[in-house]
Structure 1
Amino acid sequence: MTLPAPKLDDLTWADLMAATTRRIPAESDGTWTLHAPADPGVTLLELFAYLLEQRLYWLDQAPDELVVAILKLLGLEPPRPARAAATVLALSTGGETPTVVPAGTVLARDPAAAIRFTLDDEVTAFPVDGDAHVVTDRDRTADLLARRGVPLLASDGSAASARFTLPLTGAHSTSGWLSVLFELDSPLPPSWAPPPLPVVRPPAELTWSWFRPSGDASGGFAQVEDGTGGLRRSGVVRLRPPPEWSTMDNGLLVATPAATYPAPPRLLRLAVNVSGARHAERRTVTGLGEQTDRWLKLPGQRLVLPDAADRLLTAVLHLAGEEWEPAADFAFGSGRDRIFLLDRHDGALVFGDGLTGRIPRPGGTVEVGYTIGGGRDGNGGLTDNWLPVDLAAPVRAANPVKADGGADPETVAQARDRAAGALGEVTRAVTAADFVTLATTTPGVQVGRAHAAVGEHPGFPCARVPGAVTVHIVPSVPAGTVPAPEPDPGMLCAVEERLAAARLLTAEVFVRPPVYRDVRLRVDLSGTPADRAEVSTVVSAALRHHLDPLTGGDEGTGWPFGGALRPSALLRAAQQALGDLAAVTAVAIGIDGADPAETCDDVPLRAGDLPVVREVRTHVVPVVEPGEGLL
């Protein structure tokens, strides 16, 4: 049960006066006889009662410093600072030769504007002309340009490859990077989005290589930085070509010996000359002696930074050869700690009082490295007029994806509300429901469903092992793409690592893919449907959807693990889909390769098993009129 919140402010001024006046006769031995408000003694009692009531009110008011300290004691984040929005900038050059744009270059839509984005990586901007082409089993460029989603690699464990032709022109070589944006249809946040996701093993082992479209040259790259995590999510792939490469070798090949994806990754956009960019600008300032020389050895000193009001994100101070670092608050600081607070509103560094946080001494050299930006102002749409602020180069940029993720600083009240919700989150795996919750919320992978089989041990399939828990997971895939989705090896490892860290000391945890049971169905229909092909298609789609591991079942959340196959439920699902097209008379079920057999009994499945429909056949039975065939 939930304990009620304690209330310390439970006395009013009237209660205090009533309790005090009742004690006057006894405490004064009857000598104090006038208890009316006109008596000066009563006036003093009223004043003291008023002051005491204020003190009692303060007991129920927790100051911000106390809230932040309690959050730290609970192991929760203090109020979060402002967060910078992120996007991807695709650079184009106006010259005929490649232009190298270094990391840290600041770009803005208007050089005088406050919204500026900084490149994360160095970009070699090659001259381009036209659009990229993609070939899988056939030329899928038209689908790519229409953003219909191009399936790149298979998901059946076989060898697979995809070929791209980048829109590079000329015959230029480079020692820099070739950077390519792969925007995928994935529910996971992209690689450039804050905050970063944990590193997860790729779903398949990929090999990146280049080729000349004419076919007379090919080879591998000297270095590969795959921001997509093996095409698990959207990201930037950076490739360092070998010395013999030139822009004539604009073919790109990605291949894998075993495509173990839960579903084929779907490509929505391909762009070159790209880098992640953030709404943050790094600056360094020295010579703030006009402020530090006026400091006294008193608490609460401030150092105001230029052009940082309402934009200050982080800072590091070097004062008289000593390094000072930012802190969330002074609650756990000592008088010797060289720490300061960030005042984003004023763009200033705030120092301690000598007890919690050291008081800085005036004099000495001052150097501050700080970052400005962040906040919701950085979020925005698609534009193509980004220009370098301090770089004299013939380049401009466009952001093919929206800038997102920027957030204003969190207030103490917002942090307290967030902490209240965080205290209810599952962090330890004790019950079967805890294992399911932790598995389906594993960061970095997309788990659709999970089933915790308590007592199931892979080494002892016929016995119940105390302390063993086997969790079967089903990956989340787009509806209708894969009938029996299997988790990739990286997903299995990520979920197992999370559950192993959250389990009880005496528990043994295993993570396995689901066990699918092949199901064959035969549906008997009566009547004379006008279009038998349409009837067969409708019945097959309805039954496949009803038994789907992710969207099936009566509630549409996936067929229950180990749920028995009921002929009556399958008949109802088929009839609801058909409507007046035909009447369903019977449904026959065959499992594990057996021929469908008509039965009135449920077909059981083992605990943790899921059905997968391999075949649905329809059989039309002529309508028999009443009395037909009787003499």
Structure 2
Amino acid sequence: MTLPAPKLDDLTWADMMAAIRRRIPAESDGTWTLHAPVDPGVTLLELFAYLLEQRLYWLDQVPDALVVAILRLLGLEPPRPARPAATVLHVTARRTGTAVPVLPAGTALTRDPAGRIVFTLDDDLAVFPLAEGTPVTVWTDRDRTADLPARRGVPLLAGHGGPASARFTLPLTGAHPAPGPIGLLFELDAPAASAPSWLPGAVADVPPPAELTWSWFRPGTDVHGPFAKVEDGTGGLRRSGVVRLHPPADWTTRDTGILLSTPAATHAAPPRLLGLAVNAAAAHHRQWHTASGEHLQEQTDAWLKLPGQHLLLPEAAERLLEARVSLADEEWRPVPDFTFGGPADRIFVLDRTEGAVVFGDGLTGRIPRPGREASVTYATGGGRAGNGGMTANWVPAGDLPAAVTAASLVRAEGGADPETVTEARRRAAASLGEVTRAVTADDFVTLARTTPGVAVARAYASLGEHPGHPCTPVPGAVTVHLVPAVPRDDTTGEGFVAAPLPDPGMLCAVAAHLERARLLTTEVFVRAPRYRDVAVRADLSGDPADRARVSAVLTEALRRHLDPLVGGEEGDGWPFGQPLHPSVLLRAAQRALGDLAVVTAVAIGLDGAEPGEDCREVPLGPVDLPVLRAVRTRIVPAVEPGEGLA
């Protein structure tokens, strides 16, 4: 139940005048006899009542500065500035010599003929020569090159916990050394919770799901070696991302092979590769500028030792994102507001509407001295205007040669306009309903499922369960069992995992998240669920015309019904610890078969046991989940109506 907002300006001018007139006889000892509006005294009282009514109205108007300060006290973000859109660009450049060109970080490119929407590269990019028409080759258990253009997911590192590897051959030409890293876009079929590395929602510090090793080799030879440095934006193939491979000094573009290997493929499911591109770099809708010299010197010379000094930045009005300020070689830091600043703090606030840097008043924030030499590095851009589709018309926006072109490999998205104070208040109100502390079992489940950076589909909190004391409930102990989100579009396809287990990185990330939210006296453990192998025998009446089809339909229906992610009556996964009822499985099987066959009985076997004739339910432990391993059908004679009756 939410409390109603208090209303402080409920006293009107008419109510005040009525109360004042009633008090006039007593306060004047009866000497004031004319209380009509024509009396000058009454006119003055009406004026004072009018002014008081305005003051009462102000009581209900919370100033923006107070809203921002309260948000900071609550540990929430102040009104968010404009957010730049992000994309990944495939860059090509016509070489004028033998050297491989390198585009530095901050290189500006635009898809807008007028040059209003400018994106800049996040990192340095070496633009290697590519053989036109030659695709990237992919080899896992066999040649998978043809699958990428068709967007058929290629499962990588499908080792089920054992050693695994994948090989790629890049379409590089010549024998050029590497002046910079190789930029590769790995586009994976990852859950939405694992946002791509270039988007604002990406989480940088999630432990990888497996230990990966990147190395290079020269196809057709035994020449190979490790990369000098690897910047893995995929987080160990957990999400889509840009991988930057730094070759060693003896590498050349003849060494086109890349070997990706792991001693233990511990991913919850084999990562599915949808696309791989060379000469790729992330780019954001922002442009960096540096203001210094005469323009700023004129402004600082005009300063007085008074509060409210500011610096107007060129071409920054309505577009200012962030800034770094230096006055007389002293660094000043940005803050959301001056509320918590001291008189000696070198702080400033960004006025994004005016495109200016604003300094303090001497009480909250230091007043800068006049005449100081100023230098401001600032970024402009952001907003929804940067969002857009995949285009191939990117051209240089600065001093780059016209031979440099680019094409977007993914949609530009993530751009947002500046948040108003009203929107920030709504966001703060909505956050009050978010679970931030782990008190109840539902709290543990909610926090586990919303752990940033990992895709947890289901969680179950077992109160009192302690791994060190499996036979006795331990007060204060909580063990959370996780089921990761893995593909369920095709239960018979390649890479399907019937019993998904959380990877080690997911377990660590969820454990760290719950550790910060637990009560002081609570011990929290994070584990995988316990899967129980299930065998089912179904008795079919009569003689089905197509026994192979009946068996396939029956197996698929029972597998989905018992699935830990899409099973159960609600389709959100078989409930933890729910017993197996033969009648429930019979109903699911008959619903799927329809007129193909009549199911007369279902028998269930658990953990390798043969299905028996007992029709009673099969119990499971509190943290157990079933996984279907075998389905056998048996044809029994059809029972005629009335047969067996005396």
TM-score, normalized by length of structure 2? 0.94
In the alignment, is the contact (CA less than 8 A) between 1:175 and 1:241 conserved in 2?
A: no
What residue is the counterpart of 1:478 in the other structure? 487
Alpha-carbon deviations, 1:57-85, whole Å to 9, x = none? 21111111111111111111111122222
Taking the aligned partners of 1:549 and 1:211, their CA distance within structure 2 comes to: 41
Taking the aligned partners of 2:617 and 2:587, their CA distance within structure 1 comes to: 14
Q: Offset of 1:381 from its aligned partner?
A: 1.5
Letter in 2 for 1:292: T
Alpha-carbon deviations, 1:419-445, whole Å to 9, x = none? 111122111111111111111111111
- Is the counterpart of residue 413 in structure 1 residue 415 in structure 2? no
What residue is the counterpart of 2:120 in the other structure? 118
Taking the aligned partners of 2:77 and 2:49, their CA distance within structure 1 comes to: 40
What residue is the counterpart of 1:266 in the other structure? 272
Shift in alpha-carbon separation, 1:107–1:292, aligned structure 2, 3 A: same
In the alignment, is the contact (CA less than 8 A) between 1:521 and 1:589 conserved in 2?
A: yes
Letter in 1 for 2:156: L
Shift in alpha-carbon separation, 1:474–1:233, aligned structure 2, 3 A: same
What residue is the counterpart of 2:525 in the other structure? 510
Q: Offset of 1:394 from its aligned partner?
A: 3.8
Q: Offset of 1:292 from its aligned partner?
A: 2.5
Alpha-carbon deviations, 1:39-69, whole Å to 9, x = none? 3332222222222222112111111111111
- Is the counterpart of residue 102 in structure 1 residue 111 in structure 2? no
Letter in 1 for 2:10: D
Q: How does 1:287-298 map to 2 (within 5 A)?
A: 287=293, 288-298=296-306
Alpha-carbon deviations, 1:178-229, whole Å to 9, x = none? 2211110112111111244141221111111222222342222222221111
Taking the aligned partners of 1:243 and 1:349, their CA distance within structure 2 comes to: 45
Q: What's the secondary structure of 2:349's corresponding residue?
A: strand
Shift in alpha-carbon separation, 1:526–1:353, aligned structure 2, 3 A: same
What residue is the counterpart of 1:221 in the other structure? 227
Q: Offset of 1:384 from its aligned partner?
A: 1.8
Q: Offset of 1:155 from its aligned partner?
A: 5.2
Taking the aligned partners of 1:408 and 1:625, their CA distance within structure 2 comes to: 72
- Is the counterpart of residue 529 in structure 1 residue 544 in structure 2? yes
Letter in 1 for 2:116: A
Which of 595, 606, 631 aligns to 2:610? It is 595
Taking the aligned partners of 1:486 and 1:592, their CA distance within structure 2 comes to: 18
In the alignment, is the contact (CA less than 8 A) between 1:198 and 1:443 conserved in 2?
A: no
Alpha-carbon deviations, 1:524-578, whole Å to 9, x = none? 1223332222221111111111111111111111111111111121111111112
What residue is the counterpart of 2:218 in the other structure? 212
- Is the counterpart of residue 243 in structure 1 residue 249 in structure 2? yes
What residue is the counterpart of 1:424 in the other structure? 433
Which of 460, 467, 474 aligns to 1:458? It is 467
Aligned-residue RMSD, C-alpha: 2.0
Taking the aligned partners of 2:45 and 2:637, their CA distance within structure 1 comes to: 101
Taking the aligned partners of 2:558 and 2:331, their CA distance within structure 1 comes to: 68
Which of 357, 364, 373 aligns to 1:365? It is 373
Letter in 2 for 1:168: L
In the alignment, is the contact (CA less than 8 A) between 1:263 and 1:485 conserved in 2?
A: yes
In the alignment, is the contact (CA less than 8 A) between 2:481 and 2:526 conserved in 1?
A: yes
What residue is the counterpart of 1:86 in the other structure? 86
What residue is the counterpart of 1:299 in the other structure? 307
What residue is the counterpart of 1:75 in the other structure? 75
Q: Offset of 1:175 from its aligned partner?
A: 4.4
In the alignment, is the contact (CA less than 8 A) between 2:102 and 2:179 conserved in 1?
A: no
Q: How does 1:142-157 map to 2 (within 5 A)?
A: 142-154=146-158, 156-157=160-161
Taking the aligned partners of 2:451 and 2:354, their CA distance within structure 1 comes to: 39
What residue is the counterpart of 1:59 in the other structure? 59
Q: What's the secondary structure of 1:281's corresponding residue?
A: strand
What residue is the counterpart of 1:566 in the other structure? 581
What residue is the counterpart of 1:355 in the other structure? 363
In the alignment, is the contact (CA less than 8 A) between 1:300 and 1:350 conserved in 2?
A: yes
Shift in alpha-carbon separation, 1:324–1:621, aligned structure 2, 3 A: same
Q: Offset of 1:466 from its aligned partner?
A: 0.7
Taking the aligned partners of 1:183 and 1:474, their CA distance within structure 2 comes to: 24
Range 396-405 or range 326-335, more displaced: 326-335
Q: What's the secondary structure of 2:148's corresponding residue?
A: helix
Q: Offset of 1:475 from its aligned partner?
A: 0.4
Taking the aligned partners of 2:185 and 2:226, their CA distance within structure 1 comes to: 19
- Is the counterpart of residue 48 in structure 1 residue 48 in structure 2? yes
Taking the aligned partners of 1:341 and 1:432, their CA distance within structure 2 comes to: 43
In the alignment, is the contact (CA less than 8 A) between 2:300 and 2:373 conserved in 1?
A: no
Range 483-492 or range 223-232, more displaced: 223-232
Alpha-carbon deviations, 1:306-352, whole Å to 9, x = none? 12122211112222343333221122223333322212222112233
Letter in 1 for 2:32: W
Q: What's the secondary structure of 1:330's corresponding residue?
A: coil
In the alignment, is the contact (CA less than 8 A) between 2:532 and 2:625 conserved in 1?
A: yes
- Is the counterpart of residue 374 in structure 1 residue 374 in structure 2? no
Which of 466, 473, 487 aligns to 2:502? It is 487
Structure 2 unpaired stretches of 5+: none
Range 355-364 or range 157-166, more displaced: 355-364
Taking the aligned partners of 2:558 and 2:336, their CA distance within structure 1 comes to: 57
Range 354-363 or range 602-611, more displaced: 354-363
Q: Offset of 1:147 from its aligned partner?
A: 0.8
Alpha-carbon deviations, 1:109-141, whole Å to 9, x = none? 358512222212221111112211111112111
In the alignment, is the contact (CA less than 8 A) between 1:457 and 1:470 conserved in 2?
A: yes
In the alignment, is the contact (CA less than 8 A) between 2:302 and 2:371 conserved in 1?
A: no
Taking the aligned partners of 2:645 and 2:339, their CA distance within structure 1 comes to: 97
What residue is the counterpart of 2:516 in the other structure? 501
Q: Offset of 1:247 from its aligned partner?
A: 1.6
Identity of aligned residues (%): 70
Alpha-carbon deviations, 1:395-435, whole Å to 9, x = none? 32211011121222211111111111112211111111111
Shift in alpha-carbon separation, 1:626–1:117, aligned structure 2, 3 A: closer
In the alignment, is the contact (CA less than 8 A) between 1:155 and 1:262 conserved in 2?
A: no
Taking the aligned partners of 1:441 and 1:110, their CA distance within structure 2 comes to: 38
Q: What's the secondary structure of 2:70's corresponding residue?
A: helix
Q: How many aligned residue pairs are there?
A: 631
What residue is the counterpart of 2:323 in the other structure? 315
Taking the aligned partners of 1:144 and 1:179, their CA distance within structure 2 comes to: 18
Q: Offset of 1:629 from its aligned partner?
A: 8.7
Taking the aligned partners of 1:501 and 1:325, their CA distance within structure 2 comes to: 29
